[in-house]
Structure formats: structure tokens, C-alpha cells
Chains A and B, each alone.
Chain A
Amino acid sequence: MYTNEKMLESIKKVEANRAANAVMEPVRMTAEEKEEVLATYHPDYIQSEFEVLQIGPNKGEKVPKELAAILQANSRINPADIDLTKVDYDVDVLVIGGGGAGTSAAIEADNNGAKVMIVTKLRMGDANTMMAEGGIQAADKPNDSPAIHYVDAFGGGHFAAKPELLYKLVNEAPDAIQWLNNLGVEFDKAPDGTMITTHGGGTSRKRMHAAKDYSGAEIMRTLRDEVLNRNIPVVDFTAAIELILDENGKAAGAVLMNMETKELLIARAKTVVIATGGAGRMHYQGFPTSNHYGATADGLVLGYRAGAKLLYADTLQYHPTGAAYPQQIFGALVTEKVRSLGAKLVNVNGEVFMHPLETRDVCASSVIRECRRGNGVPTEQGEGIWLDTPMIELKNGEGTIEKRIPAMMRMFGKYGIDIRKEPILIYPTLHYQNGGLDITADGQTTNIENLYVAGEAVGGIHGRNRLMGNSLLDIIVFGRNAGKNASAKSKDVEVGELTLSHVDNFAKEMADAGIETDVVSPKLLPNYTNQKSI
């Protein structure tokens, strides 16, 4: 419920202009205008928020301060205390992470006849996948093609994606949709079976497939059910806290820690898949986040300490529409689908100030700029911009909101805001880790053999910004890819003697560089104890 007078006053202006705003087609920014708004307002461009790495494979490159602090940090273990001859789990493929990428990898590894195991620090399905609302891209309509999808994603990512990874993403997208559909995922379809697809920011064709606004949840619960049907072992509430290599420097397992009892366990594997997801809970630059509780960049830390290279670790995605009000849901995701369905961004004076479907980085920067210009709506946490949801039903008819974005209706409804009748307040929220571990098209890291990566922990698939709907897609395409290749590779692997010498070496490198810190990593969970809000 809106009770603040300034908000109520502004809502009146939004209402007065609604009919006119709904039909207008705002001009899109030129390439130069986009560059300018990004350079001036995007958080990635604020140099003082970054730090240059002093050690490790990306020495000399800049990353967010908060990430530098956990990359150049102490291990949770002293290798001398660990008995690597006492192996608790011995498998072909060890998958670290139980989200969309990890479960997809496990299912494909199982298909391939490998002995596969998932370890996950919370429960299987506690992942950003579960929270992806808007949809999944695939060029499967007659007016579309993987080549058009490629151009959209490559341009949207500022021409920085690794071409061989993007090729795989777009060309295997339709097959990914079919695979999910065959597992029983319920996509939104017309009665004749045609997929109901919409635009996302930066798409040139309507290729966003959805399952209402529970797209990720629907995919995740189906994949989880399939893992359980196959009796693939899932060791939950157990985090990987270091990778184990063999004497030849190849990945060969992980040291695991029970999150509740703190018991340490040893998993030996012929190949390892890192599918640990993103980093929103690192709260870079103090931003709130749309991410799940465990998004703390663990995979990047594990990989980096073992010598794997990072790519684009300096670029994050701030989703333009995080909830700015009420404070109980501050930072929670308001799906881009709200804009796909026709809601526009409106300032405190009731004016539309941009095209609502620019790419996320441009859109977030433009929202920040509008607020800096004094056109934001003041809130307890700062300020926000209106996302005029009633426009959706003005455009598409009554009942559209309940049918297409029920989760959004429920989320705001709990706080007395009926999004069919009232606009909602948004501000950018930390959403996605564009960068991550550097891989080749087979899913393997570029410099550690038998170490595979899939999902948000990968860098380079999207370049320096990601389009809506390409992350649900990448976890499926690259999850399956990693599962297939890691299991095939495992058939020829003879694991050598296990070692944690890389952990000692990293500690020595830190000491040599004069880095002294109390920080231990991976972080595993954020600490909100004794704090007032998320």
C-alpha cells in the first residue's frame, strides 16, 4: 500500500498520463547515446570500486573490490591436516552445485553411463535458476534464426563474447527447449502448439519462451525431479571448499565440508564440473541483489586458487528493475517480462524517459541517470522510478497480469499493492555475474585439464552484458555440454596421486606479494546476522 504523500502525488501524474504514455513508442538510443550513458552512470565504470589483482592467473587485471578480497584470501583448510588417502566419495564426474547447470550436467553424464554425484551447499534447486522469472531465448520461429540470435547477443554483450561459445549457445538453443519440453517442462503455448514468445531487452525477434513468470522455477523443479528419478546421488548441505588436483595438475576432486557439522570429506573424481552460480550476495558496491542466498562466487574462488583463469570478472549485471518499495522486498527481481508485456518506465512527473526494452546495462544506467537528474521518487532506501504495470492490461486486456505474471502480482499483493491498478517502484539491483571462469567450447577450463565449468560461473558466453533469457538458456546448453564432455572424458582418465599443493602455493604467493588478510574463502554464505534488512 502506498501511504507516502509524495508517492501518492506522483502516482496521480502517472495515472493522468497513462493512456498517452501507453500508446507512444519511445525512440531507442543511438549507439553513441548508449555509450555515453553507460560510461557516465553504469557501476562497472566506477574505477574506484575496483582493485587490481596482485597474484594468480589474472594478476594485473581489475575486479570488484569485494571479489578481490575473496580471491586473494586464505583457504578454509590447512592442507597438512587433510588426509587425501581417505576417500569418502569416488566417482567419475563430480558436479559442484545443484542449480540448473549442475542438474543438467548430471543428467547428461548419467545418460552417458558415468557415475556422477552432485554436491551442493544448500538444497538441490537452491539456485538463481529457481528465481529466473521472465523466460528463455531460442530462435525457433520462422521469422527468426540462430544467426539473428547471434547478432542480438553479440551486440548486446558489447561485441565481447567468445564467438565459439556464443555459436554453441544460439545454435543449440532450440534443442535445449525441446529437451526441456520432453522432460515435461510446461512452456506457454497457443492451442495449436505454437510457443507464445515475447521480446526481451535487446532482442530483435520475439523469442522469449516462458512458463508464466515462474520460468526458472518450472525448469528447476523439473530438472530436480529428473535427477531424483534417476537416483543420481545428491549430497546436500555440503560445500566444496577446495579443488583437489592430481600430481599432474589435473582436476581430480574436491574437499567438501558439511555445512551443519563442519565435517570435512574427500571426493575423488575423474572429472569435475564447477556449476556454483553467481555472486549477488557479495553485494558489490553496496547494491541489493535479486540473487539467492548462496550466490557468493564460490566457483571463481575454487578455480582461481587452483590456477584457472577468469574472463570478464570486472563486469556485473545490474538488473534495471529491482523492487525499490516496499522495503521488505527491496532488491527483489521484477521480471523484465513486465516490460515485455508493455509496461513502461515513468519518472516522478509521469513522463516516459526511455524505451523500456533497451539492453539491461543501458536501461539500468538510464534509470540511475533519471534519478540523478532529480526525477526519481524518494523511498526509505533511496529512490526509485515507476514501472507502470496497469499499462499491460490497457494494452493486452484485463486478466493478462494474473495469467502471465502471477508471481509479480502475488509478490506485491502481499504488501497491499495491486499491480493491475497501481504502478510499482523500481531501482537497479545486482543480478548477474557476466564474467567467470574461462572455458573452451567443450566446457573445459582453458588451463586445467578435467576441470569443466557451466552456468553463471562461466565467463565469456555473453561478453560484457547479457540479454534477458540467455542465462536460463546457457545453463541448459552449457550444463548439458559439460555433462556430456566431462563424462566422455572420464572414460579415459587415470587419476594420479591427489594433492593440495596448489593451496600451499597460493598461500606462498600471497605471502610473497605481501597480502595479509583475515578473510577466508570461499565465502559460502553472506552474514546478515544482527542486520536490519537484506
Chain B
Amino acid sequence: MQEMVNIYLFGKKYSVPAELTIMCAMEYAGYQLVRGCGCRNGFCGACATIYRIKGQQELHSCLACQTKVENDMYIATLPFFPLVKQVYDIETVKPTEQIMMQLYPEIYACVGCNACTKACTQELNVMQYIAYAQRGEYEKCAEESFDCVMCGVCSSRCPAGISHPQVAMLARRLNGKYLAPKTAHLEERVQEIKNGTFEELLENLMQKPISEMKELYNNREIEK
């Protein structure tokens, strides 16, 4: 006999197999999901969910596709959270401290409660990356926030109204575009292609009979 557990979806009780994820348990119970379901693999942040185990005080947050059900789990999904996303021109912004003050001044109102970090579904140190952002240390902010799936649970818990994922997004783009070292070999290759360096070679390949292409492919040298 299969092990079953009782869960409460938006307060209503269902009995579901114990090995299911919250997402599959909702489907098992009969939900046809439209909201709150995306990649089903922990990358897209669509299925942010909060839950509490009956009799316990602590409120948990998770991704529904990545979390197994437990007995007496009270579940509410958070398929959308109104994050504030400021609009900017990536070509004209500069990676200075001022840009955060200008676009996301609320980060300086952080009270240090650490609720964001406790709520993070990816177990990131959210408060720490906000601290880096405050100081204009975008490389560190980018690294610390890299695994963020932008589910928004951190922001739902923030008394200062910070939209952490958007702050981190800006920091990563600033880092990727302006702070990370430039790639000389890439720039050279792009220039070579603009000069048409490979056109004749490629056109030759395109016209070769399949038998010759097979010969080339099967005997090509493979870098160790």
C-alpha cells in the first residue's frame, strides 16, 4: 500500500502520495495548472510557494516543483509578486554606487532583519548581496546572487519594500558588461568575421559533396 499524506491546498484538505512534489501533488489532487508552473526543474521561479506545518510556528518558502510534500502541510502558492523593476538604458548607465541610489534607493532602508535570506528558495545570502549592492560592490553582488531564480519570495517578506531580485539583476548586468574583463580573442574573431575572413572557407564546405564531408568529419583532429 502506497504511503499517503494529508496536505491542505489553500486550506482545503487532500490526501496525496507521500513521494510527490508539491506541484505534482496539486495535479494529483486535480488542479490543471496555468499559473505557478513553468520549467518544473527549479530554474524559472514560477512556482514560489509558502507553507507551514500544522502545529509549528515557522513559515517556510520553497519552489513547488523542487519540494516534497509532508504530512499536515498548509500550502499557498505565490504565482506572482509585484516586484518593482526600474527601467534603465544599459548603454548609458555606469557601474557606480550612484546608479543604485538613483534606481533602487530603498535598499538603503534595509533594517537588517535577514527575513529575505531566511525566505530564499535557493538558500542564497540575500541580505549580504543587498549589502554589496549598497556599497556599489557589484562584482560581489553578482556572484552572491548568481543562482537567483527571481521567484520574489524574499521581497514578499521584506519590511523595507526592497525588490531584491531586480537589484541583483542590475548588478549582474553591470558586472557582465562593464566590470568583468574584456575578451580580446572574441573581439578579434568578430572583427575577422566582419572582414569576411571565413567566407570562402565556409562556402567551399557548403559545396562539397556529402562523401567528402564525411571524410573530413570522420578524420578530424579532436582537441584533447
Contact = CB atoms under 8 A, between A and B. Distances in A.
B20 interface: yes
Contacts of B202: 146-147, 150, 167, 170-171
Contacts of A159: 210, 213-214, 217
Contacts of A333: 41
B30 A407 contact: no
Nearest to A281: B40
A196 to B, nearest CB: 11
Interface of B: 17, 19-21, 24, 27-28, 30-35, 37-44, 46, 66-68, 85, 87-90, 122-123, 142, 146-147, 149-150, 169, 172-177, 180-187, 189-190, 193, 198-199, 201-203, 205-206, 210, 213-214, 216-218, 220-223
Contacts of B35: 237, 260
Contacts of B42: 407, 410-411
A186 B217 contact: no
A181 B176 contact: yes
A237 B46 CA distance: 13
Nearest to A229: B87
Nearest to B166: A225
Contacts of A178: 186-187, 190
Interface string A472-491: 00000000000000000000
B24 A31 contact: no
B150 A221 contact: yes
A143 interface: yes
Contacts of B87: 228-229, 231
A194 B183 contact: yes
Contact of B44 (A126, A167, A171): A126
Contacts of B147: 214, 406-407, 410
A86 interface: no
Most buried by A among B40, B182, B220: B40
A293 to B, nearest CB: 5
A414 B66 CA distance: 8
Nearest to A132: B43
Given A174-B186, A183-B90, A122 B205 contact: no
A192 to B, nearest CB: 6
Contacts of A228: 85, 87
Given A177-B186, A184-B174, A212 B146 contact: yes
Contacts of B185: 140-142, 194-195
Given A131-B41, A151-B217, A154-B213, A184 B176 contact: yes
Contact of B206 (A167, A181, A195, A292): A167
Chain A to chain B: the 7 pairs with minimum beta-carbon distance, closest first: A184-B173, A155-B217, A193-B181, A184-B176, A186-B176, A163-B206, A184-B177
Contact of B19 (A205, A206, A218, A327): A327
Contacts of B150: 221
Interface stretch (A8-16, A382-390, A445-453, A521-529): A521-529
B156 to A, nearest CB: 17
A274 B46 CA distance: 23
A528 B27 contact: yes
A110 B155 CA distance: 31
A78 interface: no
Nearest to A162: B206
Interface in A502-534: 525, 527-534
Contact of A199 (B89, B169, B223): B223
Contacts of A139: 189
Contacts of A529: 27, 30-32
A474 B190 CA distance: 17
A290 interface: yes
Contact of A184 (B19, B149, B175, B213): B175
Contact of B223 (A205, A221, A527): A205
Interface in A124-163: 125-126, 130-131, 139-143, 145-148, 150-152, 154-155, 159, 163
Contact of B43 (A141, A217, A531): A217
Contact of B193 (A174, A195, A237): A174
A520 to B, nearest CB: 15
12 contacts: A154-B217, A155-B218, A159-B214, A178-B186, A178-B187, A229-B87, A329-B41, A333-B41, A410-B42, A528-B24, A531-B27, A532-B28
Contact of A122 (B46, B122, B146, B218): B46
A112 B31 CA distance: 43
A185 interface: yes
Contact of A328 (B19, B43, B175, B189): B19
Contact of A151 (B17, B37, B181, B205): B205
Contacts of B38: 122-123, 125-126, 130, 292-293
A119 to B, nearest CB: 15
A204 B223 contact: yes
Contacts of B85: 225, 228
A398 interface: no
Contacts of B24: 328, 528, 531-534
B31 to A, nearest CB: 7
